[in-house]
Structure 1
Amino acid sequence: MPSMWPLRLLAALSVLSINALSYTPSDSHVLSRRQLHARGYVTEDALAGSYDFVIVGGGLAGLVLAARLTENLKTTVLVLEAGDSGDALADRINTPSGAYYESLLYTPNDWQYKTVDQPQAGNRRFDWPRGKILGGSSAVNAMYLVRPSEIEVNAWESLMANEDAEAAKKWGWDEFYPAMKKTETFTPPSDEVAQIGNITWSAATHGTSGPMQVSYPGMCVISGFRDLDFDAEVGGWAPSLEALGLPPLKEPNGGVTLGSLVGPSWINPSNWTRSYSKAAYLDPALSRSNLAVVLNSMATRIIFADGSSGDLRATGVEFASSPDGPRMTVNAKTEVILSGGVVGSPQLLMLSGVGPKDVLEAAGVEVKVDLPGVGQHVQDHLTAPVVWTSTGETAGDIQQAGSDFAKTKEFLSFINSATAFANLTRVFGTEGAAAFQKFVADGLEDSASKLVPSQSPEVIEGYKAIYDTIANKIFNTDVAVLELLLALNTPGEVSVQAALQHPLSQGRLYINTSSPFDAPIIDPQYFSHPADLTIMREGIKLVRALKQTPPFNSSLGDETFPGPTVVSDEDIEKWLIEQASTQYHPISSCAMLPRSQGGVVNAKLQVYGLANVRVVDSSIFPFEFASHVGASTYGLAEQASSIILISNNLPTNAVKGLAVPSFSTLALVWTSFFAVSVAAGPFIT
């Protein structure tokens, strides 16, 4: 295995595709962070006795909610975050290329979860990194902005339509697409960037006044850029894929994903920094008197009212700073909102007595609501690369050389963003796709009887609903089943990953102890359904075809991974079993499905059996999209904030604090309160 393989994997971090910086004062370090955060960050002993909303988790979704809910000055909001602020690591977070060269993964700012051994994937344990820091995974991911297709989003809506058609409309394309656009302000690439990268886009598919900044890296504007080989590698991406039957996607992120693209990223073109939920949403809101954030505080359980009849009502959240530290409680007057992510949210529900009865009893937790779907339906994207030596200079070569060019903010903004999406017909051919789709569809009952890691009839029905959606609403359409990703960040190498987008394998995660400081058991059951392996095998073949296709192949040398000895279908499958890794997009552990199908939340994001607890994070998506998780999660959080405010009879947008004003306006306002300190240095905070 190549020594730089971890760097190539980071290119797929999209839970981890979620980031960028808007040009607020905190992003450019115009203000002292100590002054800016003095009001918003509070210590445990300075907490108020109660808040209207207690948000558990200061990750991507939690910070969007905190900012949007506190726009209404009648509300009070507390965010409980288990990690630190990230302020001391601002340079590493804000530099886009830091995701590859100075990653915070495998540090204390990463939860460092691991799966159990995966029998169908070489009995290997997989890393499941998650950001343990304000902004969550949006602070550590690779910043891809790729939205799902209209077909997929409408399929999501259809899963809930029979239960609550009106509420389900929020998750159909007509309403969810505007929510995704609401989060962002789009800046097109420069003419030179567009020409060299062969980039197409449509401003109409993006937002114009949201907190998140969306644009393209600035590397191409450096003089002498054309002396490098990026015009062959990035610029050759689209024409070579078109020759292979994947034409350029003219309007990326507009509801169709089939084709090739050099996509935008969560990046701030005013200073070439990462845009992510802390900088874009939280920092501008921290001065509000109705918002408080407590750091390094782990939620340990939800407190429920005694003697509740019907659905249990949460009265607060218990938390602690360490396993041996004192337990403290903060009261929630209106709602408790879980935004702990795909691992944290189901874990806290189970620790609080809400989940599968057998799991809770085995862990020594009193059962308050038997909800068998908690922790079930877990899905993830798997990926594997083909690697060639490079006859040209790659970004990794430049970074390793450490030239003056490599220290410029424009170079440090370069991140991988060339992708392509292929549907079943492109992967198998017309007749082969039809046969494969029929094979999968006909196997529903057999798969449900053998592959569901639960005996619950409800969970089994949910497995069937998800499986049927993939087999009959995705596999026979133009929705992608594979993503290809170009990576140029390893010295001397070019790699292209093939990533499975609609896995049929479903797993679970569960607690086996009552201690919140013990990580849950994570078992995604990778490759438990054989169709996943078959699709990835064909994806490797498609990637290898690029070696024979100009102009992209002009800078490709010998294949080093998997290498010339891996040739037959059997060889490729054996290699995938031994080498495939996660694309870092796990979802669905608190799936939005009917309760009769092992669902955890309804279409209003309310947990079944609980009167005032919602889940708002990527754990609620019922099946994987052919996209990166960030854009969907931002849209989810924007949509959720409106739902929550309206359901509690609170008007939205009472404070106009999150649209993006000009930098001069921001500077004028802030300098009237704080002393200005201008940041210096090549990297851009």
Structure 2
Amino acid sequence: MWSPRLLGVAAASLTLNQLVYANTIPVFAHHRRGIITPDELSSSYDFVIAGGGVAGLVLAARLSEDSNTTVLVLEAGDTGDAVGNIINPPAATYYTSLVGSSYDWAYETTSQSSAGGQVLPWPRGKVLGGSSAINGMYLVRPSEVEVNAWQNLIAPTDSQAAAAWSWPEFFQATKKVETFTPPTPDVQSAAGIQFNQDSQGTQGPMHASYPGFMIDTVGTWLPSLQAIGIPSNPDAFGGNTLGGFIAQSSINPTNWTRSYSKSAYIDPLPPRQNLHILVNSTVTRFILSSVDGSSNQKASQVEFATDASSDKKTVNVNKEVLLSGGAIGSPQMLMVSGVGPSDVLQAANVPVKVELPGVGQHLQDHLVTGLTWKTTTQTAGDLHASNSDVASSAEFMSFVNSATAYINASYLFGSSDDAANFRSQMQAALTTSVQTLIPSTNSEVIEGYKAIYDVVTNTLLPSDVGQVELLLSLNAPGQIGVQVALQHPFSQGRLFITTASAFDKPTIDPYYLAHSGDVTILRQGLKLARTLGSTPPLSSVLQTELTPGPSVVTDEDWENWLKGQVKTEFHPAGTCAMLPKEKGGVVDANLKVYGLDNVRVVDASVFPINFASHLGSPTFALAEQAASIIRSQYNGLVAPGSNSSVPGPNQDSGNHNGASSLLSSSSSTMGVVMTMAAVLFAVFM
């Protein structure tokens, strides 16, 4: 019932690039790249990065390529080294999760009145690597339509800078992140995997590949979708995600381990004296002062502490503060520093430095629920529970769910006419939505809600962009599931602080299912999933429908059921939206916070719309673009979307477009690598 592949990669056959990135050489796997103790901290740095997660570590690696630049990363969590046995095996994300541990921020939402009164957990990684160290490793890119819609939202403020967020630029950034490895022949055959090599990256720090083990049931996915009229997508990574495909994952195929921001961007680095990483250090605020001759404020210091009872310390900022705390952490850091909605700051006893009403607003997330069936075929969960030799193999432990499909409105509603009718209903609902569903009375935030609503209604709905994602789930013993996830919510929520302490969790209110359109889209997705489950060849391995069960039949039944069953797909965005300030924006096209001279936000909080994708790939690409923007300002490199550059002092020579720049080091260092490799080959061969 499965198609395993034994590890057969001889150490001697690995390329140098694979050796460095595979973490197979102990000198790299265990070397604490840039990680310092508090007494090694310098008094000042050019760039202080608040958050060592997905984007923060990309920034750290790229900015420190310039020898004239000093970089400090402050990460609230630990290194993750002590739990590498949980982080590294991909399938451990299902069976031995770090969710709920000290490596999880363990946020929760408020009670969601439109979602059955549920209080939903929001796990986020509190460790070097952030959520990329604990997530499901999907590498699904957004579509060309969505990325261009994002660019158009910010273009009115600065069309030249907005060019960095056009599809051609962003597509190249996604490729710059990755080194793609095709699936093994047996895995490809078992799952029916299709891909276009030209859409893949070839020199990036992070591995993009497929598991080394495949459950045969995955092979029923694409034929069953085709049988109900959903096409297979042979190039889902080239700008059009419509249809079914087997997604790539951030898996290192040289040793079947998780590839994430720490293992990809930090662990392989040669020694860099200009990069420091301090863990167990929560940023409590950045300290602002007025800029002479300007109404703007400038960050001069960053304050941090180990915990709420510890003494606070500060470090001076020579150039910029870069916030990379994610959709929760970054708006919280802004607010505790005095930047945000004045009513929120005053209620939390935080002096208002810059009134910026959009901070914490425009919160959007993917909601997911689904159907499950009893099965007698062997699932990944059954194999894991067997404790067999196969179940303990590295290949099996690399298996993650990756069969997916993005369904646009025409397929979802059964015809283009029905989809157009739904769109007309959403257009007509705008006035009522503005009056009743915006968690702010600020005119700028209201205009931003309208702008996002317009993009979803008039750009995304009539396009090929997926409105729901279907996911095949094979990790429960004796059960198979098809999950259904809402991709472009009409509901927008918010988060806000209630105290001045960064150690007190913010209030998170996503307004789940507040808009009836979200309920309708999920309902249609669930009905489609049931149709899929009754269609061969998938139906041949499914038996009794366990949830919601045969008693749920009518539209009203579906809607009543789903409201109490939805969960997060862990993709919050929008809380520091890249929008014009007059539309509730927080950052401009260069990621600079409005009203602040030297503070940028670089993480998923800046996406003004939720993409029909998982957030890992676009966030990595965002960080790569951000690093290029920053380096172009200070070191004369070519800015994204620009054809010119100004020479800068002491910048690294050579290729800055891929993995090779991360590998830059002295010949003596590389000689040590090769010598160590030779010794290890002699021992293990």
TM-score for both structures, normalised by structure 2: 0.91
Could you tell me which amino acid in structure 1 is paired with residue 597 of structure 2? Answer: A
Query: SS at 2:628's partner residue?
Result: helix
Which of the residues 363, 380, 405 maps onto 1:420? 405
Specify whether residues 34 and 625 from structure 1 end up closer, same or farther in structure 2 by C-alpha distance, changes over 3 A only: closer
Match of 1:52 in 2: 46
1:358 to 343, 347, 354: 343
1:85 aligns with 2:71: no
Partner of 2:189: 195
Q: Which amino acid aligns with 2:85?
A: D
Which of 129, 132, 138 pairs up with 1:135?
A: 129
- AA partner of residue 76 (structure 1): T
Aligned to 1:670, which of 656, 659, 673? 673
How far, CA to CA, are the matches of 1:648 and 1:71 in structure 2?
13
Summarize the alignment of residues 394-433 of structure 1 with structure 2, pairs less than 5 Å apart. Answer: 394-428=379-413, 429-433=415-419
Change (3 A) 1:511 1:495: same
What do residues 579-612 of structure 1 show as CA deviations (whole Å, max 9, x unaligned)? 1111110000000000000000000000000000
- Amino acid of the residue matched to residue 545 of structure 2? E
Q: C-alpha distance in 1, partners of 2:391/2:676?
A: 37
Match of 1:282 in 2: 266
Confirm or deny: 8 A CA contact 2:25 2:677 kept in the other structure.
Answer: no
- Counterpart-to-counterpart distance in 2, 1:654 and 1:578: 56
Which one of 492, 496, 500 corresponds to residue 482 of structure 2?
496
CA contact (8 A) 1:73 1:654 kept: no
Q: Deviations over 1:445-501 (max 9, x none)?
A: 221121110010000000000000000000011111010000101100100001000
Aligned partner of 1:94 among 79, 88, 101? 88
Q: Normalising to structure 1: TM-score of the pair?
A: 0.91
Inter-partner Cα distance in structure 2 for 1:277 and 1:655: 23
Alignment of 1:563 with 2:549, yes or no, is yes
Distance 2:682 2:439 in 1: 53
Alpha-carbon spacing, 1:34–1:283, altered in 2? closer, same or farther (3 Å): closer
> Is contact 1:24–1:280 with CA below 8 Å preserved after alignment?
no
SS at match of 1:235: helix
Query: Separation in 2 of the partners of 1:301 and 1:413?
Result: 39
Q: 1:490 to 1:209 in 2, by over 3 A?
A: same
Match of 1:245 in 2: 229
Percent of aligned pairs sharing the same letter = 52
Distance 1:34 1:159 in 2: 42
Task: Judge conservation of contact 2:20–2:28 (CA < 8 Å) in 1.
Answer: no
How much has 1:347 moved relative to structure 2? Answer: 0.2
The alpha carbon displacement at 1:569 in A equals 1.1
| Alpha-carbon distance between aligned partners in 2 of 1:627 and 1:679, rounded to the nearest angstrom | 44
Aligned with 2:173 (options 179, 183, 207)? 179
Q: Is the CA contact (8 Å cut-off) linking 1:32 and 1:675 kept in structure 2?
A: no
Q: Provide structure 1 residue ranges, at least 5 long, that are not aligned to the other structure.
A: 1-21, 221-229
Q: Separation in 1 of the partners of 2:532 and 2:29?
A: 51
Tell me the residue number matched to 1:537: 523
Change (3 A) 1:611 1:564: same
CA contact (8 A) 1:507 1:524 kept: yes
Q: 2:106 aligns with which of 112, 116, 138?
A: 112
CA distance in 2: counterparts of 1:34 and 1:205, whole angstroms: 30
d(CA) in 2 for partners of 1:680, 1:349: 52
Hey, what does 2:319 align to over in structure 1? 334
Q: Is the 8 A contact 1:501 1:626 kept in 2?
A: yes
Select the residue among 513, 518, 526 that pairs with 2:499: 513
Read off the aligned partner of 2:158 and give its amino acid letter: D
Alignment CA distance shift 1:35-1:190 (3 Å): closer
**277, 289, 300: which is aligned to 1:305?**
289
TM-aligned CA deviation for residue 416 of structure 1: 0.3
- Check 1:678–1:296 CA distance in 2 against 1; reply closer, same or farther (3 A cut): farther
| Alpha-carbon spacing, 1:318–1:120, altered in 2? closer, same or farther (3 Å) | same
Moved more, 140-149 or 302-311: 302-311
| Rounded Cα–Cα distance in structure 1 between residues aligned with 2:52 and 2:508 | 22
Secondary structure of 1:599's counterpart equals: coil
Which has the higher mean CA deviation after the structures are superposed, 284-293 or 315-324? 284-293
Structure 1 residues 226-625: aligned runs within 5 Å: 230-231=215-216, 233-285=217-269, 287-306=271-290, 308=292, 309-428=294-413, 429-625=415-611
**Cα distance between partner residues in 1 of 2:157 and 2:597:** 18
Contact kept, 8 Å, 1:311 with 1:611, in 2: the verdict is yes
CA displacement, residues 216-261 of structure 1 (integer Å, 9 cap, x when unaligned): 10114xxxxxxxxx33x21110011011111100111110011000
Q: Aligned equivalents of 2:529 and 2:445: distance in 1?
A: 36
- Rounded to whole Å, the distance in 2 between the matches of 1:29 and 1:582 is 35
- The change in CA–CA distance for 1:668 and 1:625 in structure 2 (over 3 A counts) is same
Once residues 680 and 184 of structure 2 are traced to their aligned partners in structure 1, the CA distance between those partners, rounded to angstroms, is: 30
Corresponding letter in the other structure for 1:471: T
Q: How far is the alpha carbon of 1:556 from its aligned partner?
A: 0.5
Alignment pair present for 1:658 and 2:659: yes
1:24 CA drift (Å): 5.1
Query: Which digits, 9 at most, give the CA deviation of each residue in 1:148-204, with x for residues without a partner?
Result: 110011000000111111111111101111011100000111222111111110111
User: Does 2:646 match 1:646?
Assistant: no
Structure-2 separation of matches of 1:163 and 1:641: 21
Please, what is the CA RMSD of the aligned residues? Answer: 2.2
Q: Which amino acid aligns with 2:120?
A: F
CA 1:479–1:580: 2 relative to 1, 3 Å: same
Alignment partners' CA distance in 2, 1:548 and 1:126: 31
Q: Is the 8 A contact 1:68 1:653 kept in 2?
A: no
Would the aligned equivalents of 1:383 and 1:580 in 2 still touch at CA under 8 Å?
yes
Structure 2's unaligned 5+ residue stretches are 1-16, 638-650
Q: SS in structure 2 opposite 1:648?
A: helix
Which AA in structure 1 matches 2:402?
A: S
Deviations 1:84-125 (A, max 9, x none): 000111121110101100111110000000001011011110
Query: Do the aligned partners of residues 26 and 626 (structure 1) sit closer, same or farther apart at CA in structure 2, a change above 3 Å counting?
Result: closer
Q: 2:108–2:122: 8 Å Cα contact kept in structure 1?
A: yes
1:376: how far off? 0.2
Quote the Cα distance in structure 2 between the aligned partners of 1:675 and 1:58: 33
Task: Output the CA distance in 2 between the equivalents of 1:650 and 1:299.
Answer: 30
CA offset digits 1:593-634 (Å, max 9, x no partner) = 000000000000000000000000000000101000011001
Amino acid at match of 1:670: V
Please list the CA deviations of residues 343-380 of structure 1 after superposition, one character each: whole Å capped at 9, or x if unmatched. 00000000000000000000000000000000000000
Corresponding pairs, count: 648
| Partner of residue 227, structure 1 | none
1:679/1:579 CA distance change after superposition, 3 Å: farther
- Read off the aligned partner of 1:438 and give its amino acid letter: S
Counterpart amino acid of residue 187 in structure 2: V
- The change in CA–CA distance for 1:676 and 1:515 in structure 2 (over 3 A counts) is farther
Q: Is the 8 A contact 2:269 2:663 kept in 1?
A: no
Higher RCO (C-alpha 8 Å, min separation 6): 1
**In structure 2, how many angstroms separate the alpha carbons of the residues matched to 1:603 and 1:306?**
23
The answer to whether the 8 A contact 2:244-2:404 is kept is yes
Distance in 2 of aligned mates of 1:552 and 1:201: 22
Does structure 1 retain, via aligned residues, the 8 Å contact 2:76–2:281? yes
User: Cα offset for 1:548?
Assistant: 1.9
Match of 1:158 in 2: 152
Tell me which of 200, 207, 219 is aligned to 2:213: 219
Q: Distance in 1 between matches of 2:678 and 2:56?
A: 30
